[in-house]
Each structure stands twice: as structure tokens, then as C-alpha cells.
Structure 1
Amino acid sequence: MDFDFSTAFQPIYDAVAGRVWGYEALVRGFAGEGAYDVLSRVTPEQKYRFDQDCRVKAIELASRLFPADQELKLSINFMPNAVYEPAACLRATLQAAARYSFPTSAIMFEFTENEEVSDTGHLTNIITEYRRHGFTTAIDDFGAGHAGLGLLVEFQPDLIKIDMLLIRGIDASPARQIVVASVVDMAHKLGITVLAEGIETEGEYLALKAVGISLFQGYWFARPAFEELPPLRHVLVGS
């Protein structure tokens, strides 16, 4: 790569346990550039290497930052269209996990946001191979862009992250409440865990918790921190 980048971490909060469930690794530039700016510099020829380097960097930092006495998930975005042969592409991940003594059972792979998957059969092969190694799988931005019901009927991940467009202002939107409640009910019947991302207010949090969601992520809990684990701003057990 002809540019440098690293990782920021944002916590995922478990409202039932009242603690951090895990952290999402988010690519960032050293000058504060966000994911969009960094990704815009990645050429099609660099996609595969970039995808691999992001995984290794996230595992390396998490191995140093995650407390040894806590069971935490490390959520890593991946680019399905950059994964040519699943088993081969996982070698760098497995090697990094071994090198830094990071348990593979603690790693969750989620689709990088809004990437269109042109070959769902290929994606199914990826998910199958990832699960064979004990990784958790997730669909990001569910309910917006390319991550919708069509993908869900092809395969069932371990977790779906409801897109923030369905989350924003849900406490004042009966339509959003009905749609999200239906998604939660469907997911539970399929054995899929639901996570709500993009939480910015207490009202959104309480409305989502009321429809049965227990995992949350968003600025209301903590903003991403560059190469650090940010503290939670709010811990609301049983509220």
C-alpha cells in the first residue's frame, strides 16, 4: 500500500449483562481520516491486500488492548468481493491470531458497509468457511443498501446489525418501531442475534430495548477511539 492507516475501536454494549460485549475495528488514517476517505484511496488492484492488512492490524492491536480477564468479540469488516478463495484468504487471519495469541472464537467478520455482493453463492462459501474455523459472522447495515431480505434468505449469519437509517428517531416514529420489531421477531425465529447500530440518544436506546434488542453500538455509548478502547458514556442495566 502507498499510504498508512490504522484502527479505531468502538464498543458494542450488552444491555442485558450491563457490560461491553465487544469492539468493532474501524479503519482510520493517521491524520484522522475516516473510513470513507481511506477506502477511497484503495484501488481495485489493492483491495485484496488492503482487506488482509486491515484484519492483521485489528488483531494485533486488539491482542494488546483487550483485557485478558474479559471475553470480548473483535468485529472486523471484510470485503466479500476482495475474497477470492475463502480458505486461502483466511491464512493471514489465522496466522495473525496465532502470532498474537488471539482466540479465533473471539473474532466476528461483518460485511463492509454497503458493498454489493454480485455472487451470493460465493458469499455463502465464504460464510461456510469462516464458520468452519469458529468465526462469528454478521451482516452490517441490515435494512439499507444491499444488505436486506434477499441476502437473508440465501444464508443466515449469526448476527445482523440494523442500519442506523431505521434507528434514527425511532422513539418518535411508530413506523420505524413496527418495522424494527418485525425484523427482531424474524431474526429470533431464525436464531439470529440482532444488534442496533448508530444509537445517538437515550430515547432511541430505550425504544430499541423495548422491542427485544440487547446489543447496541453508537455515539451515545462511545465514539470510536484511535488505537484505544474508549470508555462507555452510559451503562443502563435493566432500564
Structure 2
Amino acid sequence: MRSNDPGAGCALCRDAEPLSFDFSYAFQPIVDVDTRRVFAHEALVRGVSGESARSVLTGVTADNRYAFDQACREKAIAIAARLGLRSHLSINFLPNAVYRPEVCIRSTLQAARRHGFPVERIIFETVEGEQVSDGKWLAEILNQYKRIGFMTAIDDFGAGFAGLNLLADFQPDMVKLDMALIRSIDQSPARRAIVAGVVSMCGQLDIDVIAEGIETANEARCLRDLGVHLMQGYWFGKPRFESSTHEREIAWSD
């Protein structure tokens, strides 16, 4: 729960003990099937030897989540810069770990400058499924990030707590459709109708749609026919530990 004291969260980041665990990242491509380019890589937290995200997240507590969120942003940028990443970089963040957006973002901006990674190629992605008690506060965070120059995305759209109410308060640069809507969409008229409706709505709001969780060529072709051109999933590339994916390695749908 966000504190009423705007300095409380800042103190938790500034004065917190160093994290008792280390972590790293794997990177999964988000591709543009129209241009056949890698549009972005999503940074996915892993253990230092490639262990699962769960092995890291079990160490995150109410006492260290603020410091962990800051460390995640900085480390994702540092590794992406080391890899010479030329695509966008999508970083997940914890909205409940943000107390004052303009302050909490400072270390991220410093990391981007330090490593020479362009701010305009960073996407901040929040999971709609994380319950945020104050939707307008989440919109305020995202608005602040957008004003600074970052791109913004809502993950798992359609599966969480905010949904259409969030879009009424804030229009991100993109939404990522929940993979439950994508699974076997080529065989489901209901899923196709829902996705077509979301694509139409987002088009009117100038929001790009990303379909994630794609595992077959038929799913990819169906989504392209529905007007989706940004896609992510094992069909195009699995997460690679401390490594990126090149266009020539992508299994395109046709």
C-alpha cells in the first residue's frame, strides 16, 4: 500500500540495506511481422546462472521491494547496453513500489545516461494483473514516465484489475494482450472477435497492440490478419540469458 508520506518510499530506496541476493536477465524478442524486424526485447528477471524468475522473486519482500524495483531497472539497462542492444528495451516495473514518480525515476535516468542507452528506446511495462488500489495513481505514474520520454505498455491486458477503466484515464503507447486470449486463436471465433474489438478500439486511441504467448505459425498468421503486427512468443524466440535475438534467427510465420 502506498504511504501518505511522499518521502517514505524514497527513504526505503535510499536507506535500505543492500539486497541479500543477486540476479540477472534473459531477453525475449518482440517482433514486427510487417517489417520483419525485432522491435524490442523484454527483460525477464533470472538468477545469476539463468535460474527461474521464481528463484529471484521469492527473495522480494515488503521491506526490499522498493530497492529491488530500482535495481531491476538499472541492471536491465546495464546489460542491454553491454549487449549493444539496438532495439527497444522493455522493463517491467512494480507500480506499488513507486511513491513519487519524478523521484523514483531518477536512478533510471542516471543509468541510461551512464550506459549511453537512449531514453526513447526504453519501454516501461506494468502488469495489469497486479492489483493497484488506486487506478488514477497508476495513470499518474505512467503519465509522468511518458512526459519524461519513456514509452509505456500495459501487460496482460484483459486479465487484470484495471482494464478499460485504466484506458479511460491513460492511453499507453501499447497494450500486450493476455496470452489466454491468444492461445489457439486460429481455432476460436470468440477469441478472434474479442481481439478484433481490442485492435479496433486501440486503433482509435492511437495505441499499438502486442500479442504475446504465440506458439504456432497459425496463431501468428491469424493475428496478422486481425491487424496485429507486433508479436512475442516462443514461435519467434525464447528468452535468452544475457543475450539478444537477431532478425535472421526469427522463425517468421510465412
Q: Tell whether 2:108 aligns with 1:93.
A: yes
CA contact (8 A) 1:8 1:226 kept: yes
Mark the CA change 1:112 to 1:47 in structure 2 (over 3 Å): closer, same or farther.
Answer: farther
What's the offset of the Cα at 1:129?
Answer: 1.2
> Aligned match of 2:43 in 25, 30, 33?
25
Q: Could you report, residue by residue, the CA deviation over 1:181-225 in whole angstroms, capped at 9, with x for unpaired residues? A: 001000001110000000001111011111000000001111101
What's the offset of the Cα at 1:4?
Answer: 1.3
Q: Which residue of 2 aligns with 1:222?
A: 237
What's the offset of the Cα at 1:31?
Answer: 4.2
Amino acid at match of 1:82: A
Distance in 2, Cα, partners of 1:132 & 1:212: 28
> Aligned match of 1:121 in 96, 113, 136?
136
Q: Which residue of 2 aligns with 1:137?
A: 152
Distance in 2, Cα, partners of 1:91 & 1:117: 22
CA contact (8 A) 1:141 1:147 kept: no
Deviation >3 Å, runs of 4+: 230-233
Distance in 1, Cα, partners of 2:74 & 2:68: 10
> Aligned match of 2:90 in 71, 75, 98?
75
Aligned residues: 234
Q: Which residue of 1 aligns with 2:72?
A: 54
Q: Which residue of 2 aligns with 1:45?
A: 63
CA contact (8 A) 2:174 2:207 kept: yes
**Amino-acid identity (%):** 55
CA contact (8 A) 1:140 1:147 kept: no
TM norm structure 1: 0.94
Distance in 1, Cα, partners of 2:55 & 2:127: 14
Secondary structure, aligned partner of 1:223: coil
Secondary structure, aligned partner of 2:64: helix
- The 5 A counterparts of 1:113-192 are 114-192=129-207
CA contact (8 A) 1:7 1:58 kept: yes
Mark the CA change 1:147 to 1:198 in structure 2 (over 3 Å): closer, same or farther.
Answer: farther
Q: Which residue of 1 aligns with 2:250?
A: 233
Distance in 2, Cα, partners of 1:171 & 1:17: 22
CA contact (8 A) 1:19 1:235 kept: no
Q: Tell whether 2:31 aligns with 1:16.
A: no
What's the offset of the Cα at 1:64?
Answer: 1.6
Secondary structure, aligned partner of 2:154: strand
Aligned-residue CA RMSD in angstroms? 1.4
What's the offset of the Cα at 1:60?
Answer: 0.4
Q: Could you report, residue by residue, the CA deviation over 1:147-184 in whole angstroms, capped at 9, with x for unpaired residues? A: 52222222111100001000001000011000000010
Secondary structure, aligned partner of 2:167: helix
Q: Tell whether 2:208 aligns with 1:193.
A: yes
Q: Which residue of 1 aligns with 2:15?
A: none
Distance in 2, Cα, partners of 1:66 & 1:217: 21
What's the offset of the Cα at 1:37?
Answer: 3.5
Q: Any unmatched runs of 5+ in structure 2? A: 1-18
Secondary structure, aligned partner of 1:114: coil
What's the offset of the Cα at 1:53?
Answer: 0.5
Larger Rg: 2
CA contact (8 A) 2:135 2:162 kept: no
Mark the CA change 1:112 to 1:143 in structure 2 (over 3 Å): closer, same or farther.
Answer: closer
Distance in 2, Cα, partners of 1:166 & 1:212: 15
